[in-house]
Amino acid sequence: MEASWKTKYKKAVTFSYDDGVTQDIRLIELLNRYGLKATFNLNSELLGHPGMLFRAGQRISHYKIHPEKVRETYEGHEVAVHTLTHPNLTTLPDEEVIRQVEEDRKNLEALVGYPVVGMAYPCGGVNNDDRVAELIKTHTGIRYCRTITNTDSLAPQENLYRFNPNVYHVLEYDRLMEMGKAFVEATPDEPQILYVWGHAYEMDFHPDDWIKLEEFCKLISGRDDIFYGTNAEVLLG
């Protein structure tokens, strides 16, 4: 077993992106340019499906990565569960919660060829609760689940099955840069984790957002006192 990042570092940065859309390809190129790592949360039964989103008078692609391209596309990063078909798990009976999570995990594991242990809850609003978290913990191979509830705290969290992120990428750009600058300048005595999440397709609605995300990548990258890892490497390390 590899040593924990905490033996060498006091700070870690990780990214998490949902839905497995084709815009992930551009995002991965950007992350790789700066030596950053992310976890990508996929719905295995929706892979390869076409789709479009309409917002503020704009039409944006929501095409999903094809199954045969998953391993190649996400190489060097982490693939994690987002359920089979993206339902709100809090509305489902116990057996369906377990099926949506565990079958997605097995499908993705077969595609990538390594253990899939992470997850991000699908849907907005109230998308997780104690019942769902306990089902996942008890009946699946998942070891951590990310919510969509941002927290100001950078301390490692005890409840990894309802893990709260810090900032919703460039849709909260001021917060993103403020937290990033403070994080870079900090010299903490205890471990800190900066966790950024979002959806790659969102940046196509405002192309300047790709530039904004690159500015954040420049800010946060290349530091010898920061560990850059996937969700699993950071949360389970």
Kindly tell me the burial class for residue 52, based on how many C-beta atoms sit within 10 Å of its own C-beta (0-12, 13-18, 19 or more).
Answer: exposed
Contact 28, 51 (CB under 8 A): no
The amino acid present at 211, given as its one-letter code, is I
Contact 209, 203 (CB under 8 A): yes
Kindly report the CATH number assigned to the domain that includes residue 168.
3.20.20.370
Domain total for the chain? 1
pLDDT tens-digit series, residues 117-162: 999 999 999 999 999 999 999 999 999 999 999 999 999 999 999 9
pLDDT tens-digit series, residues 159-191: 999 999 999 999 999 999 999 999 999 999 999
Question: Residue 28 has what pLDDT?
Answer: 98
Question: Residue 55 has what pLDDT?
Answer: 82
Cα separation of 71 and 221, whole Å? 25
Residue 116, CB half-sphere, CA atoms under 13 Å: how many?
29
Where in the sequence is the domain holding 137, given as residue range(s)?
5-235
Cα separation of 101 and 84, whole Å? 7
Q: Which residues of 103-136 are buried (b: 16+ CB within 10 A; e: fewer)?
A: bbbebbbebbeeebbbbbbbbeeebbeeebbebb
